Amino acid sequence: MKKRVNVPLLIITAFLFTSKDAFAMHISEGILPPTEAILTAILALPFVVIGLYSIYRLKKNNPLFVPLIGLIGAAVFVISAFPIPVPIAGTCSHPAGTGLAAIVLGPFVSTVVACISLLIQALFMAHGGLTTLGANTLTMGVAGSFFGYLFYKFCRKLNLSIFISAFVAGFVADIVTYAATAVILAFALSPDFLPAIKEISIAFVPTQIPLGLLEGVITGYAVKYIHIHKPELMEFGKSMISLNNLSCEKNF
């Protein structure tokens, strides 16, 4: 009997064996001055509120939505807490996972998923911080999700395949997360905004480019897998704000 290899599970297992000790991730506690910390939290709040409202509406009529958000939420949490070694740069970094979440759940729900993951990491894993939760939600949740989602939609409009579109979304989500981190750090810390952005962004490049490609591959395979085995699940991410009640009988 021919045995099929489960590619997504294989990649996750490989990650489990290649991950090393944890290192500080995201913007650490206390790095942002109080004004900027509050400002970023205020900016991230509307996205989280709309995302929560979307979840409330969607879970009412769709029996598969709760397990789906559980699956994708756990995936984002695990992926964003994985320090992956990048041999060519000699450093470790983590992917974001928000590109995948945005394609499947929509960008607002993906922001909520990222926010919850970041909160758990800040509380129990000494990663990120409570004062920088707003900034980290803005970078990983909002920027990663929305850019990944928009690029996925754009690629689909160009008639590119599901895998390629999701690959681009995953790559963009990862790169934009760190670009947004550079913007926030430059805005909050440096008096010279543009030179600081350039300097910080360039410092991220050697690690994040290979990692972005890896995240693109993971996103590509994961989305392709869902599309083949459960295409109806892709309905949730079709509209940006998933407030429409997708009918249980119609879709499932």
Partner 1 sequence: MRINKLLIILIACFCLSLTVNTKAEEGKWEGVDSKVVEKYAKMYGRTPKEPLINTDQGDLLLFIFTLFGSAGGFVMGYNYRKIFKEQKNSDCTRT
CB atoms under 10 Å from CB of 251, counted, come to 14
The identity of residue 49, as a single letter, is V
Residue 109: closest CA among 65, 151, 50, 66: 50
Closest to partner 1 by CB, 155 vs 188, is 188
Closest to partner 1 by CB, 53 vs 225, is 225
Ranges of H-type helices in 106-242: 107-124, 133-136, 144-157, 162-189, 193-229
Residue 208: closest CA among 74, 43, 25, 21: 25
Closest to partner 1 by CB, 71 vs 150, is 71
Among 43, 57, 61, 85, indicate the residue that binds partner 1 (CB under 8 A): 85
Q: Site for partner 1 (CB under 8 A): how many residues?
A: 67
Within positions 2 to 31, which residues make up the interface with partner 1, using CB under 8 A? 5, 7, 10-12, 14, 16-18, 20-31
CA distance 224 to 160: 13
| Residue 93 in contact with partner 1, rule: CB under 8 A | yes
Both tokens of residue 63?
A: 């029996």
Closest to partner 1 by CB, 84 vs 169, is 84
Q: How far is the CB of 229 from partner 1 (least distance, A)?
A: 6
**Phi, psi values for residue 58, rounded to 5°:** -70, -35
The three-state secondary structure class of 198 is helix
- Could you give the C-alpha distances from 94 to 85, 210, 211, 225, 247, in angstroms and in order? 9, 11, 8, 23, 37
**Phi, psi values for residue 186, rounded to 5°:** -65, -40
Site string for partner 1, 214-233 (x = CB under 8 A): ---------------xx--x
Among 34, 87, 159, 194, indicate the residue that binds partner 1 (CB under 8 A): 87
Closest to partner 1 by CB, 29 vs 153, is 29
**Phi, psi values for residue 85, rounded to 5°:** -70, 135
Closest to partner 1 by CB, 158 vs 203, is 203
Site string for partner 1, 47-66 (x = CB under 8 A): -----------------x--
**Binding region for partner 1 (CB under 8 A):** 5, 7, 10-12, 14, 16-18, 20-33, 64, 67-68, 70-71, 73-75, 77-78, 81, 83, 85, 87-94, 120, 122-126, 129-130, 181, 185, 189-190, 196, 199-200, 203-204, 207-208, 229-230, 233, 252
